[in-house]
């Protein structure tokens, strides 16, 4: 899993921090994420984390979406 230089991912967000989805670093995973409403240009915020930090819960388009941190790392944000 590679990240573009200077880009942050959803996995890097702090609790309550908001960001806008820019792109994805994994083409296969991007299809799954698009189906779940993670569209480029959509604002996301980190709602909560499990006690050991994985999985995480995001607020996306008015609903909570839980995912593994490894999946969140493929969502590049601004």
Residue 70 inside a domain? The answer is yes
**pLDDT value, residue 5:** 54
Q: Are 44 and 33 in contact (CB under 8 A)?
A: no
Residue 4 has pLDDT above 70, yes or no: no
pLDDT computed for residue 45 by the predictor: 95
CA dist., res. 56 & res. 72, Å (int): 8
Distance of CA 30 to the CA centre of its chain: 11
Residue 33 lies in a domain: yes
Instruction: Give the count of domains, the chain.
Output: 1
Residue 60, domain member (yes or no): yes
Q: Which domain holds residue 19?
A: 10-77
- For residue 57, is it within any domain? yes
Q: Is residue 1 part of a domain?
A: no
Distance between start and end Cα atoms, the chain: 18
CATH code for position 26: 2.30.30.90
For the stretch 12-43, pLDDT in tens is 999 999 999 999 998 999 999 999 889 999 99
pLDDT of residue 6: 66
């Amino acid at each position: 899993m590679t990240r573009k230089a200077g880009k942050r991912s959803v996995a890097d967000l702090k609790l309550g921090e908001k960001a806008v989805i820019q792109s994805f670093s994994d083409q296969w995973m991007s299809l799954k994420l698009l189906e779940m409403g993670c569209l480029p240009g959509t604002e996301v915020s980190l709602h909560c984390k499990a006690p050991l930090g994985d999985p995480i819960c995001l607020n996306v388009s008015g609903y909570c979406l839980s995912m593994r941190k490894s999946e969140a790392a493929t969502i590049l944000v601004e």
